Structure formats: C-alpha cells, structure tokens
Structure 1
C-alpha cells in the first residue's frame, strides 16, 4: 500500500555559465498524515510493490510537477524521470502518456527533458519512443551515465542531448585515482557527441571543482540545494556559485604557477643531464640530483623514438641502469608527436599531460628535449603525485 499524498519536489540544476538556476528535476515524495515528506525511491526499488500502483503513482507525481511548472520562470526546463521498462511495454502506435500530460497542462515540450533512468528495456523500442519525444520538441537525458557498459550502447542508440554522470562514480572520481581518468574520458566522449554533461551529487567544493574540470554544463546537489516543494528564486545561488568558481580559478592559476616553476627546474635538469650525455661520461660521473626529488628515471631515444640507452634511476643512494626497454620504440605515445612538432628543429622542452604508467602503476609526466643537433632525445619521467 502506498501511504501518503503524492507530491513533486524540485531540485535545481545550476548553470555553470551563469550560476543561475537553469531548470529543476522533479523528484517524488509522499506527504504523510503528520506532514512528513518521504521519498518514493524505495517503493520503485522494491520488486514487491504493485506495478499498476507504481505506474499510477508515477503519473500522479508527473501531473503534480507539470501543473505547477507555470510558477517557475518561463526559461527553466523540467526534468522528468522515465522508466525504460515501462516504455518497452507500450504498443508501437500507442499515444505516449507523458506527451498527453504535457498537452493536458499546456506545457511546451521544449521545456521538458525526459530523463531515461535505470538499465534494461528494449533499446530499439526505447529509441522509437525517444524519437517521438524529440519530434515533439522535448530533449533527452540519460541518467547514471557510466554505471554500466550497456549505457554506451544506449548513448549510440538514443543520441541524447544530456548525460548525467553516475553519482557514485562521479563522487569516487572527485577523490582522484583511476576513476577520475575514467570520468574525464566519459566527459570528453560526451563533448565530442554534442551532449551536455550534468554532474549530480555535488556535495562538496572539491566535487564542484571536479565537475568544472570535466566541463559540466550543469551541477546538481546538496552543495547548493536538495529537493523542496517550492521553487527557489532564479538567482538564489548566483553569488555563492560565483565565489566558489573564483576559488576554483585561483586554484587553477596556482597550478599554472607550479607548472611554470616545474618547467624552470626541468630546464636546469635537462642542461645537467645533456651535458653528462654529451660528454659520454660514465655512470659514476652522474650527480645525485637531490634538488629534483620528483625525478623517476631518464633515458635517451634516437630521433625516431627508439630507446638507445637504459633507464637510469636513483635507488638506494646510487644510480641503477635498467636495460629492459633498450630497443623499444615510443613514437606511438601521444607526447611523442608533441615533441616532434615543437622540439625537433627548435629543441624546445615539452611536457606531457599526466598519465598512469602501466608498468609501475605510478602517475607520471614525461618531459622531453632534443639535443645533439636533433639526433638524440632526452626523456625524463616525473612523479606526478607530489605535484
């Protein structure tokens, strides 16, 4: 039995371009006899809940949200959750109940985002229904993007306008580590397919910073507001967001300063190592280089990317030569093309983006510079964790 009066509550989406509210998501609540509001989420997650009662509840909540949308600014959008399992049960030519509700309440479909929740359902039938939503003027979002492999198939089939990053994956990625790279890659993929990114579950400043790092168009979460029955003022979070964004920018500027210092130190290190290499001095003549604690190893390649010296690493107070990679060609690595483009003729120092080395499982950067009239390339691997 469903206990309580269905009520739609609204959680805002903050536009990262303005700090203003761009829209809201309708989230279902039940108002109990004592006035308490409880989420309907557990009911929809419980397989014991009667399916007919759930569909009726879902439509009641949607009706409630649509009936009140006129209270919000006219440029806001409303995000409505749609279950793909229920969509799959619709007959091919059956009128779509959600579009009928929009017409009933006089809501322009262009103000609506249909948010496809959960996995499952017939993808082909789902794509057919999504096409009808889009033809009516509505936009399509995929929720929990990154939560399952089938989501990639769904993106290709539905060609959504918006992708909402899976909250648990996003929050874990904001802490750093491999999941951070995965989420950034997903965000880049979304950008290339023309999708806007929504980061939901933004609860801390660090998570907001990561959302901005990923290029999120909208952010949603308790850092700004939870769901409530009344609409917030459109500019309710502009000042707070501007303050947080400025702090983020200052952090990025500080990173640039650290990077500039690192480049200066690398230039000094390159000069020391190149002088040693040019002199073809023995390993015993190589200094200890305590001033560069982030140095992992260095080695030389020919101009075509083939390693011609061992890796040289400082271990246990002495230089150690690792011969395992002699003869390996590294021209396939992304940073090598930057070296060729920027450094072959002018012998400029170049620095790669951060990456995880598969052999050592360390996060690294690689600096490189041609010398010896462009015939040799000195590469330095740097421990990125401390930087």
Structure 2
C-alpha cells in the first residue's frame, strides 16, 4: 500500500568545470500527514505492491517534477528516471508517455536526461525507445553503471550520453584498493565512448577528489546538497567547490612532487647498480639497497624484451636469485614497449604507469634504462603501494 502524497524533490548536479549547478535529478517522495517525507525508492522493490500502482506513482512524480521545473533556470537540465520494466510493456508504435508529458508541460526535450535504471526489460524494445528519445532531442544516461557486468553490452547498444557510476562501487573505490582501479578503468572506457561521467553519492572531500581524478563532468551528493523541494541559485556552491577543487589540485601537485622525488631516487639507485650490471660482477658485489624500501627486484633484458638475467630480489638482509623468468619475453607488456620506445631514443631512465603484476598480483611500477651501448635494458620493479596517493 502506498501512503502519502507523491511529489518530486530535486538534487543538484554540480558542474566540475564551473562549480555551478547545471541541473537537477527528480527524486520521488511521499508527503505524510505529519508533514514528513519518505523516499519512494523502496516501494519499487516491494513485490507486494501492484505494478499498476507503481506505474501510476512513477507518472505522478514525473508530472510534478515537470510542472515544478518551470521555476528552474533556463540553462539547467532535468534528469528523470525511466524503468525498463515500463518501457517493455509499451505497445509497438505507441507514443511514449514520457514524451507526451514533456509536450503537455511545454518542456524542451533538449533540457531532459532520461536515466535508464535497473537491468531488467527487453533490450531490443529499450533500444527502440532510446532512439525515439534521441530523435526528440533528449539525452540518455545509464544509472548505477558498474553495478553489473551485463551493463557493458547495454552501453555498447544504447551508446548513452552520460554514465552515472554506481554509488556503492564509487564510494568503495574512493577509499582505494582494487575497486579504485576498476572505477578508473570504467571512467576511461566512458571517455573513449564519448560519455560524460556523473559521480553520485559524493559525501566527503575524499570522494570529490576521486570523482575529479576519474574525470567526472558532474558530481552529485550530500557534500553539496540533499534533495529539496525548492531550487537553489546556480551559484550556491561555486565558492565552496572552488576551495575543494583547489585542495584537490594542491594534493595532486604534492603527489607529483613526491613522484619526482621518487624518480630521482630511482635514477640514483640505477646509477649505483649500473657499473655492477655492466661489469657482470658477482652477486656479492651488488650495492645494498637499504635506502630504497620500495624495491622489489632488478633484472636485465635484451633490447628485444627477452629476460637474460635472473630476478635479483632483496629480502631485507641479502640479495637472492630467482631464475624462474629467464628467457621469458616481456616485449608485449605495455610497460615494456613504452620503455623500449622512449628509452632507446633518449637513453634516459623511463618509468611506467602503475600496473598489476600478472604473477604476484601485486601493484608495481617498472623503471628501465638502456646500458651496455644500448644492447641491454636494466629494469627495476618497485612496490606501488609505497607510492603517494595509492
């Protein structure tokens, strides 16, 4: 049973380029007799509530949002949730109720983003409906992106304009660890497909920083505003956002300085072991790396990528050999051929991006420099967990 009067609340999207409110998402609420408000979200997952009642509730909230949106600035957009469950029940050729609502309330479809929620519904029918939305001028977003791998084929089929990162995945990723790399990879995929990223659930400065690192076009969350009935001026959060963005930039500059310092340490270390590597001296003559806690191993490859020396690993007390990877060829690894291409031209130390080692499952960075007149490559693997910001 649905108790209360349905209406729309609005939560703003903050444009990361300006700090201004660029639009709002319509959120369903039920006004109770005591004046309090309850979210309608849980109702749509309650199997005891008839689908007819849910469709009617959904329509009433959307109508209230469209009617209220006339009070918003003319350059804002309105994001409306659309369930594939409703779309799948439409008859072929039937005019879309949501587009009829836009027409009835004189809202330009170009100001509207339709958020496709959930994973249910007929994919073919959904694509037909999305094409009709696009023909009308509306934009398409996929909500909770990253919550399920089955959404990847949906992205390829629907080619959305916007991807909203799954809030739980995003908040976990902002705390670091493997999920962080996954979300960054999703963000890169979105960028390559021409999508804008929206980070929702931004509640802390750390989560905002992670959203910016992922290249989010808009952010949404309690750090700036909860859903409210009224619209706030577009400039409401500009000053605060600018301050937080400045904190982020300063933090990244500090990380960059620390990385430059690490690079200098790496260069010193490589120079200290280079004479040993080029002289083919005994293992006992290899300098001790007491000042380099990030060191994992050193080894050598020929210029074609084949490993020609054992891995030399420091166990905290002495060097030890690991001959397991002799004659393995690493030229196919992204970190290696970038080192090969850049380092051969400039004869300087090159440092890879962070990657996960396929054997140890450990996050690493590899530094390399050509030695012995360019015939060999001296490589150093370091533990990426020691890096700033990891």
Helix, strand or coil at the partner of 2:347: coil
TM-score by length of 1: 0.99
Confirm whether residue 29 of structure 1 aligns to residue 37 of structure 2: no
**Alignment RMSD (CA, Å):** 0.9
**1:318 aligned partner:** 318
**1:43 aligned partner:** 43
- Alpha-carbon displacement from aligned partner over 1:64-120 (angstroms, at most 9, x marks no partner): 000011111000000000000110110110011001100110100000000000011
How far apart, CA to CA, are the structure 1 residues paired with 2:358 and 2:273?
26
Structure 1 segments unaligned to the other structure (5+ residues): none
How far apart, CA to CA, are the structure 2 residues paired with 1:258 and 1:178?
22
**1:71 aligned partner:** 71
Displacement over 3 Å in runs of 4+: none
**1:228 aligned partner:** 228
Which residues of 2 match residues 238-257 of structure 1 at below 5 A?
238-257=238-257
- The aligned length equals 387
Helix, strand or coil at the partner of 2:171: helix
**1:163 aligned partner:** 163
How far apart, CA to CA, are the structure 2 residues paired with 1:158 and 1:369?
46
**1:286 aligned partner:** 286
Confirm or deny: 8 A CA contact 1:143 1:164 kept in the other structure.
Answer: yes
Helix, strand or coil at the partner of 2:386: coil
Q: Deviation at 1:143?
A: 0.3
**2:207 aligned partner:** 207
Q: Deviation at 1:341?
A: 2.1
Helix, strand or coil at the partner of 2:299: strand
**2:85 aligned partner:** 85
How far apart, CA to CA, are the structure 2 residues paired with 1:123 and 1:24?
27
How far apart, CA to CA, are the structure 2 residues paired with 1:124 and 1:345?
51
Helix, strand or coil at the partner of 1:385: helix
Structure 2 segments unaligned to the other structure (5+ residues): none
**2:111 aligned partner:** 111
**1:61 aligned partner:** 61
Confirm or deny: 8 A CA contact 1:345 1:374 kept in the other structure.
Answer: no
How far apart, CA to CA, are the structure 1 residues paired with 2:306 and 2:82?
54
How far apart, CA to CA, are the structure 1 residues paired with 2:309 and 2:316?
21
Confirm or deny: 8 A CA contact 2:339 2:352 kept in the other structure.
Answer: no
Confirm whether residue 6 of structure 1 aligns to residue 6 of structure 2: yes
Confirm whether residue 173 of structure 1 aligns to residue 173 of structure 2: yes
Larger mean CA deviation between 355-364 and 217-226 belongs to 355-364
